[in-house]
Structure 1
Amino acid sequence: MHIRRDRRLWASKFRIYFCLYYIGSLLLPGALLAQPAPDGTRFIVNADFESGDLAGWKHWKTKSAAITSDAHSGEFAVKIGPESGFCVQETKVRSNSRYRISAFVKVESGAEEVQFMVSDFGGTARSVSSALTSYTQVSIDFETAYSTEKLLISFTHPSGKGSAYADGVELKYLGEAPEPKLQEFVQIPIRIQKEDGGVLQLPNGKMNWFQQDKFGMFIHWGVYASMPEGNEWVRHQEKWGHEYYQRRARDPETGFTAARYDPNEWAALAKKAGMKYMVLTTRHHDGYALFDSKHPSGWTSKKDLGRDLIREYTVAVRASGLRLGLYYSPMSWRYPGYYDVTGRDCKPNVWGYTTAAWHNADARDMKEEVYEQVTTILKDYGNIDYMFWDGGWLGQIVNDSLEKAFWDPGRYQNPASEWPVREKYVTREPGTGKPLGIMGLVRKLQPDLVVNERFAWVGDVHAEEGGSATSGDIRFLQYGEKCVSLQKGGWGYRPNREVYPFEEVVVFLSNCVVRNINLLLNVAPDREGVIPKNQQDVLLKTGDWLSKMGKAIYGTTGGPWQPLFGEYGFTFRDNKIYCHIYKGYRAFSSGTFTTQSLGNKKVAKVVNLFDGKPLRWTKNTNRTITISGVDYSRSPATTILEITLTEPVYP
């Protein structure tokens, strides 16, 4: 059968990066989101595409999505592709409801697929895929959370020279969702290390600090901070050539100066905010490096400003006692070969590059620069705790086999590679003399370094993105991290941009820890190196909140019960259970909270963690307890109750 449900939720790379990365700019204006009703279809704008355009549907402008007359019914449908592409729409739904969403889809080639997905409804994203070449109706059943009123619909053509088609979206209301089932303590599975490319994931012991720290500061900073037209993707969005972009960056009056850059101040702010680690961009997709790269093609702060900004940062972070993290993007728009690594198949791009044989050598130069820079970072900047890779896909298209063949991300480089790295940029393994690949370099030069999965290797950590609270079940089998930009719209500096209020940041953090993942919250310094005041203010308020609530955050594990999106979640440590309760909790106005089943566990006491006030509780016949007298106004965004048991939560 060619219909494949939840096929890797293909989003592990494409949806997370290309959909959620720009989610703030993709979502529909509020005026288009009407009040929900049982007939949900009429609240999807242009559900059948019969307007003859993409009204209501958004798509990233480098990706192909267009109206076609090859429809299932009526006159029009949407065509996505060739190559990777998608279109998305956010619509209203009823909370606490059951729905079935369906669409007619097809692909041009049975070797490819179209994915239909729903997410952001308070549960785990769901998808269905089809590789059929004639229109076939696919459907997904799901339940919305008690406290949500939205849904994100997406169609994706992951890759391939053909295109995908979609038509006739229908959203059918099936009635109220059933009451949540009573939960017993979850069984915590044992994480098994995965091997990829001859390299094992780090063992649990070396991941302990990451599991315990929970909260980190992400910093997107580079020459793009001097471009008011956009954010870190401004060169791409505006289709600027490298020379123009570089000239703008080097302008002494308006360009990137780092004149007020003091990483000691950044580290001090991170500590006040309750953050335990920091991650700074060493290089983003524009190819500008904040460190002293020796590659002849390198464009660096050392060359432009006479400063190694990463050196200053690493010294400051170590002095602060925080864990040291770095970000590095291997992709670079400076190389046309990035879109055409074979020289035989140029991928769609905003600069109009077309297939040319010389692109193969250009791509090899790009690879060599990456090997020189990654080796430099790993060798010359002391011990690093965490590396956030970003952008290992080629031509901005996910193609696992090509990425592995090109980058050699495992232990060794392939001696028969079509893109061999010259000897001067090679590090060989002692004893065998084999040339090390990316993870071979990591494990040799920084054996305890935690890395994510965005460089064609399985990763020690799975990265999630998006400006909405994390949903779904507890992540037990894979260490995880949610990345959110504090600034609304983009990760790099934008003048006078609004930020998420402190209350939402608290909800982001709590929703992460109850699911056993970290929150990496991004700040965006300006061209001189100053973090805007509105961002600093939110961080300081978050730090004040954590000074009271940190016991329920740091060093905890998600559980012992699964969270219920928008209502509550739990963390635990030793004999303590921490109940994280949100404004959407269905009994919020009652001043009570009822737990899940405690089994045979006995309760010693319950307090409101914010002020330490003891609370009354009664045990129920179903082995839950109901806590009364809860003052939800003390910390309304997220109230946390501490339950102390007479024995450990788990033996």
Structure 2
Amino acid sequence: MRKNVLYRCLCCFTLLAIPANLDAQTTASKAASELKPLTNSDFETGDLTGWKHWRTKFCSISKDAYSGKYALQVGPERAFGVQEVKVKPNSLYRISAFVKTDSGAEEIQLKISDYGGASLSVSSALTAYTKVSLDFQTAFSSDNLLISFIHPTGNGSGFADQIELTYLGEAPAPKIQEFVKIPERILKEDVGVSQLPNEKMKWFLDDKFGMFIHWGVYAAMPEGSEWVRHTEAWGQEYYQRRARDPKKGFTAAKFDASQWADIAKKAGMKYMAMTSRHHDGFALFDSKHPSSWTSKKDLGRDLVKEYTDAVRASGLHVGLYYSPMSWRYPGYYDVTGKDCKPNVWGYKTAAWHKADAKDMKEEVYEQVTTLFNDYGKIDYMFWDGGWLSQTVNREVELAFWDPGKYQNPNNEWPINEKFITKEEGTNKPLGIMGLVRKFQPDLVVNERFSWVGDVHAEEGGSATSGDIRYEQYGEKCLSLQKGGWGYRPNGKVFSFEEVAVFLSNCVVRNINLLLNVAPDREGVIPQNQQEVLFQTGKWLSKVGDGIYGTRGGPWQPLFGEYGFTFKGNKIYCHIYEGYRDFKSGTFTTQSLANKKVTKVINLYDGKELLWTKNKNKTITIAGVDYSLNSAATLLEITLAEPVFK
């Protein structure tokens, strides 16, 4: 469908889109910019110098420029051009660029992130160069900025040229906050299925901290991690032969699911989610589909059953990960058999791809039904990879997968009757979410299978920022191992202090942290990962009251400085090294209005602290020993009444 708008606002902020024939708004501070120039902001080097960030992909240099000789071309299909730069903390900025597309059906986005605020984006679908602009404020404790140009989908491309980053002055001092107003959650219905109500979401909101586990045959490939078959462009036969090598392949010889659950509990985690199948199509359970490749066939073991039984016995909530996409099927890149998308294996358009894609879909339906039917109660499902051809296009995803309550009887990819489950009474064939609600009615799922999701997934090693997430429950997933989700030999890991801040940053914004571990080919979680987990668990044994069972609030967080959680009549202050009065040994809250404080303690050692009520209805707490744990200090404020009545 042709877009007829100039831009789309993705976040509530000052977003400007200015026609190219108008002068940009001038600012007195522009000439006095206090920022080092962007690298190759006009692309006149004729190459991607400065834009070779690890997230950059499917980008090139074009001679279709706004000015000069060269511009950045982003695309075709899903593509990114990314640069990370240094900025001044606690400052106001404007970033602008000239952008265009080569078709009105395409779109290009300018996005900024990692500066201490919520990600902001402005888009254009115009085929003539147009100036777009974003105003933003960097955090007091942040000097980074990630600039991204994104072409979300489509056979065409987007173009960008003449990027400017302008310093607009120092940011104003933060204002004293009153208690936030918590909106009522309105359940969303999508493709015939409604989100779970609050009472069924409570366990998830209370647990806060979970263990993610990426484990599969890729753990036996030292060249990479879970995407190794894709990054190395290996064929299925070679990849499978490597996986089955009895000496160096995937053996699971030391896999003990009870030991994994014990590690998770010692780390203070309350739920777990293991990959039952990743994008390589290897299933860690007993799939009956004739095309399946499974641990039951290769090793004679149902690893998912061992895992679900052990986790359930441990008292933790049972979660799984499942990816419907599979590199084993060329049809994944060419579901219609008429338009093969770019891929590392060099697959070209072929009519037989449509039937191949249908076979892939049938395998997914058989496997999802098996997981829901044969493994007892499952509490959580992390979908991943519902997009086709590694390109986001929800219209095609809906048509292909039938992700809603029912399958479309006129679907172009009808699956075999033996892989269909029908609704009692109506005899209608159930779609993916129909299967979820039939077999696992309390299952919490995310949005990565073309359904709105009970939970929104945020991903990656960037610090969590922005305001409290009230209207859409959320979860951040992060790999403890730096670089890749699957096992890498001698992989470096985040420190305990970094993990503590990641977790705290999540809970003050009302979202969970799902922290990934990467077991080796035998099923052993590396020692350096275990050590960080155990340190985290010891910290949580002291400060867990400010984490578990809480909700974000009653005030908005300030990135890198502080945030808050609450439950009952208690408020928990989470204070970080970036707090501007960190060295004073004090902490000043936001406005408590007429709430009466009865006690304040440092959660880590239980020591009671002195406090003073200020004229602006804040309190200043004295004698805070930040040295007990400088990563994230938690103070508990007890009120004479509930925080919210």
Question: Taking structure 1 as the reference length, what is the TM-score of the superposition?
Answer: 0.95
**1:168 match:** 162
Could you say if the C-alpha distance between residues 416 and 533 of structure 1 is closer, same or farther in structure 2, counting changes exceeding 3 Å? same
**1:209 match:** 203
The 1-side partners of 2:537 and 2:595 are apart by 33
Could you say if the C-alpha distance between residues 41 and 164 of structure 1 is closer, same or farther in structure 2, counting changes exceeding 3 Å? farther
The 2-side partners of 1:388 and 1:162 are apart by 31
2:144 is aligned with 1:144: no
The 2-side partners of 1:6 and 1:379 are apart by 42
Shift in Å, 1:42 = 3.9
Shift in Å, 1:597 = 0.3
1:227 to 201, 212, 221: 221
For the aligned residue pairs, the C-alpha RMSD in angstroms reads 1.3
2:524 is aligned with 1:530: yes
Could you say if the C-alpha distance between residues 520 and 423 of structure 1 is closer, same or farther in structure 2, counting changes exceeding 3 Å? same
Shift in Å, 1:67 = 0.4
Is the 2:10–2:120 contact (alpha carbons within 8 Å) kept by the matching residues of 1? no
Matching residue's letter, 1:4:
Y
Is the 2:519–2:526 contact (alpha carbons within 8 Å) kept by the matching residues of 1? yes
State how 1:176-575 maps to structure 2 within 5 Å: 176-575=170-569
Is the 1:185–1:597 contact (alpha carbons within 8 Å) kept by the matching residues of 2? yes
Shift in Å, 1:89 = 1.0
The 1-side partners of 2:443 and 2:247 are apart by 39
**1:105 match:** 99
Matching residue's letter, 2:301:
R
1:68 to 62, 67, 75: 62
Shift in Å, 1:111 = 1.9
The 2-side partners of 1:377 and 1:203 are apart by 23
1:633 partner SS = helix
Shift in Å, 1:41 = 6.2
2:30 is aligned with 1:2: no
The 1-side partners of 2:640 and 2:35 are apart by 52
Q: How many residues align?
A: 624
2:570 is aligned with 1:576: yes
Is the 2:568–2:643 contact (alpha carbons within 8 Å) kept by the matching residues of 1? yes
Shift in Å, 1:84 = 1.7
Shift in Å, 1:60 = 6.7
2:77 is aligned with 1:83: yes
**2:26 match:** none
2:166 partner SS = strand
Task: Name segments (4+ residues, structure 1) moved above 4 Å.
Answer: 59-63
2:582 is aligned with 1:588: yes
**1:20 match:** none
The 1-side partners of 2:449 and 2:171 are apart by 40
Is the 1:81–1:157 contact (alpha carbons within 8 Å) kept by the matching residues of 2? yes
Matching residue's letter, 2:110:
F
The 2-side partners of 1:127 and 1:382 are apart by 43
**2:598 match:** 604
Is the 1:43–1:91 contact (alpha carbons within 8 Å) kept by the matching residues of 2? no
The 1-side partners of 2:620 and 2:67 are apart by 54
What are the superposed Cα offsets for residues 594-637 of structure 1, whole Å, 9 maximum, x if unpaired? Answer: 00000000100111111111111111111001111111101110
State how 1:39-78 maps to structure 2 within 5 Å: 39=33, 42-58=36-52, 63-78=57-72
Is the 2:93–2:137 contact (alpha carbons within 8 Å) kept by the matching residues of 1? yes
Structure 1 residue ranges without an equivalent (≥5)? 10-36
Give identity over the alignment, percent. Answer: 74
2:614 is aligned with 1:620: yes
1:101 partner SS = strand
The 2-side partners of 1:132 and 1:229 are apart by 42
1:48 partner SS = coil
Matching residue's letter, 2:344:
V
Is the 1:147–1:566 contact (alpha carbons within 8 Å) kept by the matching residues of 2? yes
Shift in Å, 1:63 = 4.2
The 2-side partners of 1:58 and 1:322 are apart by 42
Is the 2:11–2:120 contact (alpha carbons within 8 Å) kept by the matching residues of 1? no
Could you say if the C-alpha distance between residues 71 and 302 of structure 1 is closer, same or farther in structure 2, counting changes exceeding 3 Å? same
What are the superposed Cα offsets for residues 339-369 of structure 1, whole Å, 9 maximum, x if unpaired? Answer: 0001111111111111111110000000000
Is the 1:59–1:86 contact (alpha carbons within 8 Å) kept by the matching residues of 2? no
1:500 partner SS = coil
Question: Taking structure 2 as the reference length, what is the TM-score of the superposition?
Answer: 0.95
The 1-side partners of 2:457 and 2:69 are apart by 41
Matching residue's letter, 1:446:
Q
2:116 is aligned with 1:122: yes
Is the 2:398–2:450 contact (alpha carbons within 8 Å) kept by the matching residues of 1? yes
2:627 partner SS = coil
Could you say if the C-alpha distance between residues 339 and 40 of structure 1 is closer, same or farther in structure 2, counting changes exceeding 3 Å? farther
The 1-side partners of 2:367 and 2:121 are apart by 38
